[in-house]
């Protein structure tokens, strides 16, 4: 065994990795079940989404758990702290040489001789052969130290989750049935009952259990957009405010509706079709609402967007600082800026956006800090970021139509 594989020599983790992507009749899975003590103490199963994802969880008195999707092992969990009351816990010393159940992140790293990676800011993991070992710790001590206190303290490790999916990319196998978002799909004999499902989703949005992702189709537009047959598919994204997973509800022009739970990154990577202007598919009142909404006027790729509402002009100007800050500010042009824009046009906006960027508008010293509508919220009840994203989404549609005609 080379130094590179010290983790494998010093732990029994290969036993867990070898079981991934196989089914319960395969020898490596039988071997793992044996190592967990034979018969599981509980087997739970449920369906998630449409087409249904069949989830099955085998839990063992020894603190092990095997999670299957459609009868294939997608995750193996070592419970270091009791989960949901009924389970035993593993003796970590039997799985990784020299460790106790009180291991800190530093001790895990030393014992396995592996570098720590992070999925997001709070989810450390190791790469172990063909799989990944995600580490769950109890959240930080609440002192506001970004949760970092959690993994430096002994006794905070709760579980080790072995997956084939890179942490952060797929739905984690220990994403338990979230009471807030797992009961929203309604199915009839012919698959998804679209109206009943829409009703549940809309009440969840009203109750703030779910939040609509502004760059995708609005729930209330889904039916009309689908009926217009202008798009090959129309999709709404709803983020669960409890578990942070995203529900993607999709109506296809030529196909059955789908409903799925996804990790944030996974949802973001799903293809999006630009949304046509409302006058092509919506009822009159919706068309009027869009005319009253923010509308795209001009932009400079990667730097700024100018949007308009009535007589007001708003500049969404991107700013960045090192690799950490990359955001944008939304500034309503004042009378002097409006008059300069009417003379200087696009070139004036280029200069203004440059000035905003150079002023470091994320610091209170910048004159744009207090004017940034993204920061101070502006008119109560308005979601400026959402409104600007949807104005831009409509513009993207028009631009694509033009390039198709050319």
Query: Which residues in this chain contact Zn ion in the complex, by CB under 5 A?
Result: 178, 180-181, 240, 242-243
Q: Looking at beta carbons only, is 242 or 363 nearer to Zn ion?
A: 242
Please, which residues bridge with residue 249 across strands? 236, 259
Query: What are the residue ranges of helices labelled H in 67-221?
Result: 105-112, 149-152, 194-206
Q: To the nearest whole angstrom, how small is the minimum distance from the Cβ of residue 210 to Zn ion? A: 8
Nearer to Zn ion among residue 52 and residue 178 (C-beta): 178
3-state SS, residue 281: coil
Among residues 260 and 361, whose Cβ is nearest to Zn ion? Answer: 260
SS (H, E, C) 24-87: CCCHHHHHHHHHCCCCCCEEEEEEECECCEEEEEEECCCCEEEEEECCEEEEEEEECCCCCCCC
Nearer to Zn ion by Cβ, of 83 and 89: the residue is 83
Q: How far is the CB of 29 from Zn ion (least distance, A)?
A: 29
- The nearer residue to Zn ion, 97 or 244, going by C-beta atoms, is 244
DSSP code at position 346:
H
275 with 225: CB under 8 angstroms? Answer: yes
Residue 181 gets the label, from left (phi > 0), alpha (psi -120 to 50) or beta, of alpha
At a CB cut-off of 8 Å and minimum separation 6, what does 269 contact?
none
Of 145 and 242, CB closest to Zn ion: 242
Distance CA 234, CA 270 (A): 12
Give 275's DSSP letter. Answer: P
CB of 174 to Zn ion, least distance (A): 13
Cα gap 19→31, rounded to integer Å: 8
Q: If we measure between CA atoms, which residue out of 279, 271, 235 comes closest to residue 253?
A: 235
CB 43 within 8 A of CB 56: yes
CB of 55 to Zn ion, least distance (A): 14
Residue among 105 and 243 whose Cβ is closer to Zn ion = 243
Give the shortest CB-122-to-Zn ion separation in angstroms: 17
Element (H, E) at 375: helix 373-376
**Closest by Cα among 307, 317, 320 to 382:** 307
Nearest distance in Å: CB 65, Zn ion: 20
Contact by Cβ (8 Å): 345, 308: no
Taking the complex as a whole, how short is the minimal distance between the CB of residue 139 and Zn ion, in angstroms?
17
Q: Which residues pair with 315 in a beta bridge?
A: 306, 331
CB of 160 to Zn ion, least distance (A): 23
| Least spacing, CB of residue 123 vs Zn ion, in Å | 17
Q: Which is nearer to Zn ion, 84 or 406 (CB)?
A: 84
Which of left, alpha, beta for 244 (phi over 0: left; psi -120 to 50: alpha)?
Answer: left
Nearer to Zn ion, 73 or 181 (CB): 181
């Amino acid at each position: 065994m080379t130094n590179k594989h010290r983790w494998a020599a010093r732990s029994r983790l290969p036993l867990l990795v070898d079981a991934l992507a196989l089914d319960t009749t395969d020898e490596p899975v039988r071997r793992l079940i044996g190592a967990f003590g034979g018969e599981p103490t509980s087997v739970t199963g449920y369906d998630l989404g449409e087409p249904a994802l069949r989830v099955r969880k085998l839990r063992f008195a020894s603190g092990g758990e095997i999670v299957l999707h459609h009868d294939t092992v997608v995750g193996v969990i070592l419970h270091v702290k009791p989960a949901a009351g009924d389970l035993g816990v593993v003796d970590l010393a039997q799985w990784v040489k020299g460790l106790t159940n009180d291991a800190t992140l530093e001790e895990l790293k030393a014992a396995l001789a592996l570098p720590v990676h992070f999925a997001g800011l709070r989810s450390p993991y190791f790469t172990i052969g063909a799989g990944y070992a995600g580490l769950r710790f109890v959240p930080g001590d609440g002192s506001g130290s970004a949760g970092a206190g959690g993994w430096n303290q002994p006794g905070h490790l709760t579980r080790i989750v072995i997956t084939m999916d890179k942490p952060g990319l797929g739905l984690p196998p220990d994403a338990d049935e979230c009471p807030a978002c797992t009961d929203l799909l309604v199915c009839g004999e012919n698959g998804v009952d679209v109206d009943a499902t829409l009703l549940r989703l809309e009440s969840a949005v009203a109750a703030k259990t779910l939040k609509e992702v502004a760059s995708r189709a609005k729930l209330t537009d889904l039916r009309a957009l689908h009926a217009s047959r202008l798009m090959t598919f129309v999709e709404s994204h709803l983020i669960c405010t409890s578990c942070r997973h995203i529900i993607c509800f999709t109506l296809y022009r030529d196909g059955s509706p789908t409903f799925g739970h996804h990790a944030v990154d996974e949802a973001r990577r799903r293809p999006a079709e630009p949304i046509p202007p409302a006058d092509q598919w919506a009822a009159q009142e919706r068309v009027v609402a869009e005319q009253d909404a923010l509308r795209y006027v001009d932009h400079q790729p990667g730097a700024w967007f100018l949007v308009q509402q009535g007589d007001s002009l708003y500049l969404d100007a991107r700013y960045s600082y090192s690799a950490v800050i990359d955001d944008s500010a939304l500034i309503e042009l004042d009378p002097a800026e409006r008059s300069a824009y009417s003379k200087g046009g696009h070139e004036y906006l280029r200069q203004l956006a440059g000035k905003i960027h150079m002023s470091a508008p994320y610091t209170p010293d910048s004159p744009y800090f207090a004017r940034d509508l993204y920061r101070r919220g502006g008119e109560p009840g308005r979601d400026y970021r959402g409104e600007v994203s949807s104005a831009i989404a409509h513009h993207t549609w028009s631009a694509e139509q033009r390039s198709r005609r050319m």
